[in-house]
Amino acid sequence: MGFVLAAAGSAIGLGNLWKFPYITLENHGGAFVLVYLAAIAVVGAPIMAAEILLGRKSRRNAVGAFALLGAGKPGGVVWTAIGYLGVTTGFIVLSYYSVVAGWTLRYIVLAFSGALGGLAHHPGALESFFGGFLADPWAQILCHTLFMGATVGVVFLGVGKGIERAAKLLMPLLFMILVVLAGYVATTPGFGRAVGFLFRPTFADLTAGGVLEALGHSFFTLSLGMGAMLTYGSYMRRRDSIPRAVLTICFLDTFIAIMACVIMFSIIFSFDFEVSKSSTILFTTIPVIFYKLPGGAMISGLFYLLVAFAALSSTISILEVVSSYAIDELGWGRRRAALTTGAAIWVFGFLSALSVGGVDALSKINPIGRASTAGVFGTLDYLASNWFLPVGGLFIALFAGWILTAAESRDELEEGNGPLAGSFGAWRFLIRFAAPAAVGAIIVSVILGAEYQ
């Protein structure tokens, strides 16, 4: 339970609650959702199984796992470099993810203090507030600092007392808030249209860019490519089943993403809301709509609390990738590792916190495409999401599929699960051929500079 909740907590984050709804809206729902679901099954789930198996088999961090399992195999030290790439990616991603996550803290205070209501009732007021907030360096640094502080605090406390306990508390709370909100929107007139938009595919609406975006997002949303699932896998018990854990995590992550869409779209459709800039709906449109409903302050307060919890359980997993490297490879104690790596990422994050003002920052956290070099924030995200995560994921798939022998991976996947029979063959086919081909397509498309609009 602890492992599955913590890993699901890593997967469920801003990717589900902020990004997935807006890219689904941009890609006209239905067919895009179907491709996304296929990508989770064909690429996401097999690579997640690979990451967890590498972690549990080696009982090491991302660098140590490749060093140990790759020793004496073809490619040797190249594989260790993939571990270092993962740790570097974790460092970079956390530095800006924490900035965006920090915005949710500002909105929780705004909602519960009643100030959000005032802003939401005046057209345009929220946009100017949000713009001013992004451009205020002290506010950005404060929110980033608070979020990093919470993240470091949990990792400092350790795997059992910190990470698992936080996940056991946060995940059920998140579900509860989501269920309350879903129950609420089910009574709104836009609910039926929202469900139809999501589940009635019109293939004429689907573009090649949309297919690639769905594929790339499946990666980001499942926390794959930087060794986060590998690191959590290293703490997993041998008597637990990896295949069952993978299916549960993928299901929960997808369920939350779909629920987020149902909630947001029901409200948008109920009020025929004009969504001009869909990437900002989480911070500028959603509150306006919440306040059209009775109990707006309560609903929006709960909603941003949910987003903050989801983001926290993701940032914990990213810091753990970096900290566990320092613990295992540099021989540091956990407290020293959490504080030192956390402080370094916090300081590095200033560059992002100070660069978000004046740019459309919300469109920058993007696993693939929409190349942006606007500001440090945009550049870091562009590098991490478009290059490091897909490249990391590709090599993880290649390592698990081609470097580990069938017997090595089979033994680990069957440990705690029992005989896998035909499904092992299916996994091995996906990890050797389908997943590398699909991830390779993302990388090639980025090299060719494909446009995703």
Residue ranges in contact with ligand PFF by CB under 6 A: 10-11, 13-16, 220-221, 223, 226, 228, 314, 317-318
Whether the CB-CB separation of 62 and 83 falls below 8 Å is answered with yes
Burial of residue 407, with CB atoms counted within 10 A of its CB: 0-12 exposed, 13-18 middle, 19 or more buried = exposed
In the complex with ligand PFF, which residue's Cβ is closer, 268 or 310? 310
Residue 453: strand, helix, or coil:
coil
Which residue in 176, 105, 167 sits closest to 313, CA to CA? 167
Q: Most distant CA pair in the chain: distance in Å? A: 66
* Least distance between ligand PFF and beta carbon 382 (Å): 15
The residue among 11 and 431 lying less far from ligand PFF, judged by its C-beta, is 11
State the nearest-atom distance from the C-beta of 79 to ligand PFF, in Å. Answer: 19
By Cβ distance, which residue is nearest to ligand PFF?
15
Closest distance between ligand PFF and the C-beta of residue 62, in Å?
10
The residue among 286 and 318 lying less far from ligand PFF, judged by its C-beta, is 318
The residue among 32 and 220 lying less far from ligand PFF, judged by its C-beta, is 220
Alpha carbon 373 to chain centroid, angstroms = 21
Q: Which is nearer to ligand PFF, 344 or 420 (CB)?
A: 344
Q: How far is the CB of 196 from ligand PFF (least distance, A)?
A: 26
Which residues, including other chains, have CB under 8 Å from residue 410's CB and lie 6 or more apart? 420, 424
For helices 296-329 and 165-185, give the axis angle rounded to 10 degrees.
150
Name, in order, each residue with C-beta under 8 angstroms of 435's C-beta and a sequence gap of 6 or more.
Answer: 42, 43, 46, 47, 393, 397, 401
Rounded distance between C-alpha atoms, residue 268 and residue 374, angstroms: 30
Minimal distance, residue 278 CB to ligand PFF, in Å: 18
Query: Least distance in Å: CB of 198 to ligand PFF?
Result: 18
Compare residues 69 and 226 and give the one whose CB is closer to ligand PFF: 226
